[in-house]
Chain A
Amino acid sequence: MPAVRHALRDYAPAAALLLALLVVWEAAVRVLDVAPYLVPAPSRIARAFMEVRGTLPDHLRTTAAEAALGLAFSAALGAGCAALLAWTTPLRRAVYPLLVISQNVPLVVIAPLLVVWFGFGMLPKVLVVTLMGFFPIVVATTDGLLRADGDLVELARSYGASRWQVLREVLIPSAVPAFFAGLQISAAYAVLGAVIAEWVGASSGLGLFITRSQTAFRVDRVFVAVAVIAALSIASFAAVHLAARLAMPWQHVAHGGAQEEVRG
């Protein structure tokens, strides 16, 4: 199967490197006799994983749901705002600086406030993820809308297209690749955003799991959570990648000339 061969070729180097690092890590911890509450060996982390495999899925589900919901909100909100900003230049000039400022308010400041306002449930976490993911999507999508081919817009107008038709048939499809580029960045940070928000105060989630493990000096369990978070981030990144492929099938066709054939 060529697909399997391609997958092997693409991912084998990364897997091999990861494996080598784990081996070095394990050996270093054993040879130098490092205390497990400082740096646990991979084998110890694996054992810790087996201990918590009963409770971990609940935390994982909470965090994944927060990240997914937050990402969905930021995508919808980001795309909508981008359409507004691209629509009117004065609005764009007014709002853009505010967007940049909002992105520079540290999450560690915002997150506790949100918990105070909205409690220990999912809502403040979803909001943190939304706030984090919103900015890359707005910026990329606005840019995509503004960079649409002016000649295409003119062609549509020459056939009597309304402003709405120009938006739907030309501008929005033109901006789809940029939107997904922004969404890809937001997806990479969504899980992290959810975990940071949980850190501040939560009743469930990987962030809560980490704080609990830390207070119990179970560094090995912290590492388990880190590995799970990494896996979740990769999964969300891959999911967006897949969605982009499905939404833009035209970007993945073999380019180049079909057989030339003119009927005389």
Chain B
Amino acid sequence: MLDGRAIDVRGVSLTYAGPPPVHALDGVDIEVARGEFVALLGPSGCGKSTLLRILADLVRPTSGEARADGVAYMPQRDLLLPWRRVLGNAVFAAELAGVPPDEAKRRARALLPRFGLEGFEQAWPAQLSGGMRQRLALLRTFLAPRETLLLDEPFGALDAITRRQMQRWLQDVLALEPRTVLLVTHDVEEALNLADTVYVMSPRPGRIVARIPVAIGRPRDAATVTSPGFIALKARLLAALDGDAAHDALSSS
């Protein structure tokens, strides 16, 4: 029914009943192909998190249609359970989704080193650093038996250096464990570092103002980030964010 697409969003609008009513999304169209990495870029409060919540089936749109095959949702906060150890947190989503506990644990153990958590399986979340907590939350998302990941600013709470390391690391992990990803971010560089396609959203009510393919090879390292092609794309994204359609037309010609 999705014709090879992992996510298909058509004319989705959402108004939160007030008072006062908040018009969060306005006719949003997004398409994500299987295996594609799509970034949804927009200013804070533009409704991008709301769109993920719609796709995770936690909110119903006021109008329009949002279809996605099995999605694993990772909210902005890491939301680790303080009373479960690292391994228990890793398998939490898989358990709820019906994976037998033994199999979930076996798969989690196999992935712990990849997620930089080797030797910490018996640690409590309170003992982990910010980056480790975020990787554990990602591991939990990866272990849910779902093809598509919905990531809501997964690195938003980290410092700039750790964030860059994590972006590089996420690319490596995805090369090893391929998934379809819809990533929400307000960081232009993050979108360009990671995505095949970037959708740009306007301030509230959120509309899609640009869809920009990122034709830059992988892996995207320090040299890529300073290349002319990267800078040009960055200029286009910034222009689209600023709502400067004229500048966008100019730089894309």
Contacts and interface: CB of A to CB of B under 8 A. Distances in A.
Interface in B81-135: 81-83, 92-93, 96-98, 113-114, 116, 120, 123-132
Report the 4 A-B pairs with minimum CB-CB distance, sorted nearest first: A257-B129, A159-B96, A262-B165, A173-B83
Contacts of B56: 158
B183 interface: no
A165 B116 CA distance: 29
B144 interface: yes
Nearest to B137: A155
A250 interface: yes
Contact of B93 (A159, A173, A253, A254): A159
Interface of A: 149, 151-152, 154-161, 165, 169-170, 173, 176, 248-251, 253-264
Nearest to B166: A262
B128 A253 contact: no
A156 B89 CA distance: 12
B128 A257 contact: yes
Contacts of B166: 262
15 contacts: A151-B75, A156-B96, A159-B73, A169-B92, A248-B83, A251-B82, A253-B124, A253-B126, A255-B127, A257-B128, A258-B120, A258-B129, A260-B132, A261-B116, A263-B116
Given A155-B73, A261-B116, A262-B131, A161 B96 contact: yes
A152 B97 contact: no
A74 B58 CA distance: 38
B44 interface: no
Nearest to B97: A159
Given A259-B129, A264-B172, 16 more contacts: A155-B93, A156-B96, A159-B96, A159-B97, A159-B144, A161-B96, A165-B96, A169-B81, A250-B124, A253-B126, A257-B132, A258-B128, A258-B129, A258-B132, A263-B169, A264-B165
B219 to A, nearest CB: 10
Given A158-B56, A159-B97, A253-B124, A262 B162 contact: yes
B162 A170 contact: no
B169 A264 contact: yes
Contacts of B169: 262-264
B83 A176 contact: yes
Contacts of B130: 257
A168 B208 CA distance: 40
| Residue picked from B96, B113, B144, most chain A C-beta under 10 Å | B96
B79 interface: yes
Contacts of A255: 126-127
A221 to B, nearest CB: 48
A260 B96 contact: no
